[in-house]
Amino acid sequence: MSETPFIFYQDKKQTVTLPRDWNPVIFANFDDAIEPPDIKKLTRNALKAPVKASCLNKVLSSPSKIAIMVEDVTRPAPKKEILTVLSDELKTVSRKIVSCPFPCLSDVTLTTSFPYKHGAQFIKALAPAALVTKIGGSIILAADIETVPNLLVESLAAFHAAYKGDLLKGIDEHFRRRRLLAEKAAIDHNMAIGFTLAMQALFDIILISDRVSKTNTQKMGFIYAENIADAIQFSQAKHHRPDVHIIPSGGIMLPVLSLA
């Protein structure tokens, strides 16, 4: 591999040093243009030139009453930045989905939750990694999580306690009986819980996060690692000369599978 691989973690590019006997197959590099956008600048531009609408100074009269609506807390929108410049634009306004061909499945995939930071959204980053990793392989997820709902932690912990030997069987039993996986959680959290459990049944998932304690990481059923080096060391103990994929941003990468 001629390029120095990196991932987006802790709001910056961080280079990744792999053991010499690891075989990096794919580094899903992409254009720097997809780095986090300037939300305030984008919002100001949108207010100055709204699409098929008049500027605020042309539609508002004095006095005026204004209602500002925002998404609920489960949506990863940068509400603080948007409200600062009086806009209800979504964070996803400038998000770009990047595709990359993957010719084979890896033994180990290193990815991040970028750009997801809130609630259970970080779970979405597992989807691209799962598509390009061998069943029984390892997924290293570096997650810049600002908050993890306690309900998510406790729901995953309770399910693991009840179905530790066979998570997929537990999911199947709930679906057959038309029961929620977490009775007290909303539908979107149940979807996140079900997806997480299914991924944990198929892969070793190592979670790295400054904001999630070792206790909560393990309660959720993830393998705890303090940093990327520790996660690599854990994977090295299981995989001999592994094929490795590196996905710098799990939230915006769409794998294109070209398996033989």
- Looking from the CA of 61 toward its CB, the CA atoms found within 13 Å total 0
Write the pLDDT tens digit of every residue in 65-117.
556 666 665 666 776 777 777 644 333 333 455 678 899 999 999 999 988 88
What phi, psi does 206 have (nearest 5°)? -100, 120
Specify the CATH number for the domain of residue 180. Answer: 3.90.226.30
Using a pLDDT cut of 90, give the percent of the chain over it.
47
Q: Are residues 147 and 251 in the same domain?
A: yes
> Who wins on pLDDT, 72 or 189?
189
b/e map of 87-102 (b: 16 or more CB within 10 Å)?
A: bebbbeeeeeebebeb
Residue 251 is assigned to a structural domain of this protein: yes
Distance CA 72, CA 123 (A): 18
In this prediction, residue 89 carries a pLDDT of: 37
Range of the domain at 196: 6-35+96-257
What beta strand segments (E) does 23-83 contain? 23-27
Distance CA 79, CA 18 (A): 38
Write the pLDDT tens digit of every residue in 205-245.
999 999 899 999 999 999 999 999 999 999 999 999 999 99
- Residue position matching structure tokens 């990196």: 6
Distance CA 194, CA 110 (A): 22
Q: Are residues 100 and 146 in the same domain?
A: yes
Residue 1 is assigned to a structural domain of this protein: no
Q: Are residues 114 and 242 in the same domain?
A: yes
Q: How many domains does the chain have?
A: 2
In this prediction, residue 41 carries a pLDDT of: 82
**Which pair of tokens denotes residue 30?**
């992409």
Nearest of 3, 19, 15, 2 to residue 248 by alpha carbon: 15
pTM of the model: 0.70
Residue 23 is assigned to a structural domain of this protein: yes
> What Å distances lie between residue 121 and 27, 78, 110, 188, 224, CA to CA?
24, 13, 18, 10, 19
Residue 232 is assigned to a structural domain of this protein: yes
In this prediction, residue 49 carries a pLDDT of: 80
DSSP codes joined into one string, 3-35: S--EEEETTEEEE----TT-EEEEE----GGGS
Residue 12 is assigned to a structural domain of this protein: yes
Residue 14 is assigned to a structural domain of this protein: yes
Check whether 62 has a pLDDT greater than 70.
no
Q: Are residues 148 and 138 in the same domain?
A: yes
Q: Are residues 112 and 175 in the same domain?
A: yes
